[in-house]
Amino acid sequence: MIVVVKIGTSSITEADGSIKAGAVAKLGAEVAAAVDDGHQAVVVSSGAIGAGLPVLGFEQGRPRDPVTLQALSAVGQSRLMAMYQECLDGYGLICGQVLLAPRDFLERTQYLHAQRTLSRLLKLGVVPIVNENDAVADDAIRWGDNDRIAALVAHMVDAELLVLLTDTEGVHTADPRSSEEARIVEEITDLSALDELAAAAGGAGTDRGSGGMASKLAAARIASLSGVRTVIGAAHRNQVVADALAHRPGAGSTVAAQPQRLSARKLWIGLAMVPSGTVWVDAGARGAVVERGASLLAIGITGHDGVFQPGDAVDVRGPDDQVFARGLVEVSSDDMGSVVGLRSDAMPPGAPDEVIHRDSLTVLP
């Protein structure tokens, strides 16, 4: 079995941003135990920006401007990798750094390159240590977490299990930091419950981390739709990875895998990209997209909102105003008004036949 294990900034760094050697050692030991049991493991590790804070004199807190965050990541990444390798050396394992950016999942050529690299590393017995390419990727820093990347990596390597390690024992019915009534949810099989749980869970756990439980539930949704089981558990729990692999109760909150499996591109478009606008469509267009997997044509569009360019993601809303799909639009918001409601043979010269092509259109669960 291939398992992807993700650990967040707050679980791997101290309050001043320095790396917790003990946390790295514990994770390394659990990964080594999984490999010794015959599994293959990929680690998705946050902490590069946090690791750079004390080195560059930012002990008082994490800055907000993207350029400084990129510089911190560039400095901290090598220190983080050195600790992982030193830890894994004790178990006779080799780790390899893999830095990914959004286009590595969106563009097919880049996706295949990344997939082949990760697959070869695993076949060679290497433990890939994956992180967002924060030093050059603005989008990664704006989203600020590796949870979605971990879910997409799980799809990329055909993993069976995703383990998201955090500071709490799992998903709760309320924010356990502020509610004494919060209770852990051990099993989640209905994806429609994730939004309510995310709203109840609260924001990021610390000012060093920027994901939080809502981000982990969003990642679990992606993994579930990839056919990957997800366990959200405490990084400090003893043998949490082994227990998740063995389906033992108490490992954390489990989000069950769904029987359908979306492509990586459609997962990224539908569940990881941030929409720049909205287009409204009539009932006929909705039926064509949902029931027949058709492209979205201008004739079915009734309105639009937001500022977007060709290639940007937009939400698609039906006549009931509910978002039912997301896709990469081929017409800018400036030009959309001139094509709304037109038949294909009446489109202006040079306008695309499809406003959103079916290959770039994801129907949302």
pLDDT in tens, the chain (365 residues): 999 999 988 899 887 777 899 999 999 999 999 999 999 999 999 888 888 888 898 877 778 888 898 899 899 999 999 999 999 999 999 999 999 987 787 777 888 999 999 999 999 999 999 998 877 665 543 444 689 899 999 999 999 999 999 988 988 877 777 776 778 888 988 887 787 787 776 655 554 444 588 889 989 998 998 899 999 999 999 999 999 999 999 999 999 998 877 887 888 888 778 899 999 999 999 999 999 999 999 999 999 999 999 999 999 999 999 999 999 999 999 999 999 999 988 999 888 989 999 999 999 87
Helix (H) or strand (E) holding 97: strand 94-100
CATH class of 2-264: alpha beta
In this predicted structure, what is the pLDDT of residue 145?
67
Region(s) of the chain under CATH 3.40.1160.10: 2-264
In this predicted structure, what is the pLDDT of residue 193?
77
296 CB contacts (<8 Å, ≥6 apart)? 279, 281, 285, 289, 316, 325, 327, 354, 355, 356, 361
Could you tell me where the DSSP H helices lie in the chain?
9-12, 21-36, 48-55, 66-89, 103-106, 108-123, 138-143, 147-156, 194-201, 212-225, 240-245, 264-267, 283-292, 333-336
Region(s) of the chain under CATH 2.30.130.10: 275-363
Is the sign of the CA dihedral 43, 49, 52, 53 positive or negative? negative
In this predicted structure, what is the pLDDT of residue 202?
60
In this predicted structure, what is the pLDDT of residue 13?
84
How does pLDDT run across 275-315, given as a tens digit for each residue? 999 999 999 999 999 999 999 999 999 999 999 999 999 99
In this predicted structure, what is the pLDDT of residue 192?
78
CA-to-CA distance for 215 and 109, rounded, in angstroms?
A: 27
CA-to-CA distance for 8 and 148, rounded, in angstroms?
A: 12
Q: Which CATH superfamily is 275-363 part of?
A: PUA domain (2.30.130.10)
How much is the mean pLDDT over the chain? Answer: 88
Token pair 């356990």 is found at 176
Single pTM value for the model: 0.82
